[in-house]
């Protein structure tokens, strides 16, 4: 049986870990050739070999490095992201700028690079991994919240411009997903409050969503992969939550 993404090439940023890794696996399972882009050479190579794709070791905060990446892709998943927690009045400006560079400017530069090929073939899919923090704020997450709000805006502008060319652009906005990023946050909060990470999970993190469990990376990747398929051709400019009902409240 032919998979829905046979013949398509997908570039996944941050493909070495967590949500990006699950996206690489799901897209490959659907038939796509996957370019795993990550700053970590070990995980990029591991995932690329697992999915039969190629590894591209790049610091996405460096615009010159982005210019070295292949541009003839049909699917772009802007996923790479990091988190720094500090109050605004103490937030290091260089760290704020770095987060915008990685989480807003890199998606812009990659879209700018890949759209001409998609326009040429009159087919393309951009999926940006946003967050609940693309529509909601939390204290101490200024850079992250600003970046995710920016990414949501960028996706909508691309959706409007790309629609006549058969190209869609959407955000997927997860709540808390079981990945190394979140496990690190749980450990940090537990250490700060002198409690167990499981207690942070039940007393803080799972207070917000209606569904009281962490989201699995493959749950996010399943929606990303569906958005890349033929049946999603009419869905653009949207932000779809995978947040267990958090933003419904
Ligand atoms: P993760 O830490 O497991 O994976 C992030 C990947 O990005 C890593 O492989 C890392 O090496 C790579 N990366 C980091 N900096 C890079 C750089 N400068 N250049 C290239 N690659 C770089 O994180 P995750 O939890 O899978 O998060 C992935 C995305 O999902 C992020 O954009 C994050 O904001 C978003 N998100 C995560 C959650 C969650 O709960 N985990 C919730 C909402 C949104």
For residue 37, what are the domain limits?
Answer: 9-243
Domain tally, the chain: 1
**Domain contains 227:** yes
- Rounded to the nearest 5 degrees, what angle is found at the Cα of 98, between the Cα atoms of 162 and 184? 100
- Kindly give the number of the ligand 1 atom that is closest to the alpha carbon of 177: 40
Would you place residue 245 in the very low, low, confident or very high pLDDT band (cuts 50, 70, 90)? very high
Quickly list DSSP for 115-164: HHHHHHHT-EEEEEE--GGGT---TTBHHHHHHHHHHHHHHHHHHHHHGG
Q: Is 178 helix (H, G, I), strand (E, B) or coil?
A: coil
Please state whether the predicted TM-score (pTM) of the whole model is above 0.80: yes
In angstroms, the CA 113 to CA 103 distance is 16
Residue among 55, 79, 144, 225 flagged as catalytic:
144
43 CB less than 6 Å from ligand 1? Answer: yes
**Domain contains 69:** yes
Here the ipTM equals 0.99
**Domain contains 248:** no
214 CB less than 6 Å from ligand 1? Answer: no
Across the range 29-40, mean pLDDT stands at 98
pLDDT at 239 over 60: yes
Across the range 106-125, mean pLDDT stands at 98
CATH number of the domain encompassing residue 219? 3.40.50.720
Ligand 1 centroid–CA 180 distance in Å is 8
- Token pair in block for residue 107: 């998606």
Question: What is the pLDDT, as a whole number, of residue 2?
Answer: 61
**Domain contains 4:** no
167 with 126: CB under 8 angstroms? yes
């Amino acid at each position: 049986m032919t998979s829905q993404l046979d013949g398509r090439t997908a570039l996944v940023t941050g493909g070495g870990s967590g949500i990006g890794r699950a996206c690489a696996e799901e897209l490959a399972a659907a038939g796509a050739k996957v370019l795993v882009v990550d700053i970590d050479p070990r995980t990029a190579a591991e995932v690329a070999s697992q999915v039969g794709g190629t590894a591209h070791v790049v610091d996405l905060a460096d615009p010159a490095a982005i210019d070295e990446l292949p541009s003839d892709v049909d699917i772009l998943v802007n996923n790479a992201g990091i988190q720094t927690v500090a109050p605004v009045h103490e937030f290091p400006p260089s760290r704020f700028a770095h987060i915008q560079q990685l989480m807003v400017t890199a998606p812009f530069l990659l879209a700018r690079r890949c759209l001409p090929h998609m326009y040429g073939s009159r087919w393309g899919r951009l999926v940006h991994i946003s967050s609940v923090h693309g529509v909601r704020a939390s204290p101490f997450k200024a850079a992250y919240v600003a970046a995710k709000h920016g990414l949501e805006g960028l996706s909508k502008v691309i959706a409007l411009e790309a629609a006549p060319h058969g190209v869609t652009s959407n955000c997927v906005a997860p709540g808390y997903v079981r990945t190394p990023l979140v496990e690190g946050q749980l450990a940090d909060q537990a250490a700060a409050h002198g409690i167990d990470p499981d207690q942070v999970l039940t007393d803080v993190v799972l207070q917000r969503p209606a569904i009281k469990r962490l989201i699995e990376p493959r749950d996010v990747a399943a929606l990303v992969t569906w958005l890349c398929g033929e049946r999603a051709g009419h869905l653009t400019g949207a932000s779809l939550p995978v947040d267990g009902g958090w933003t419904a409240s």
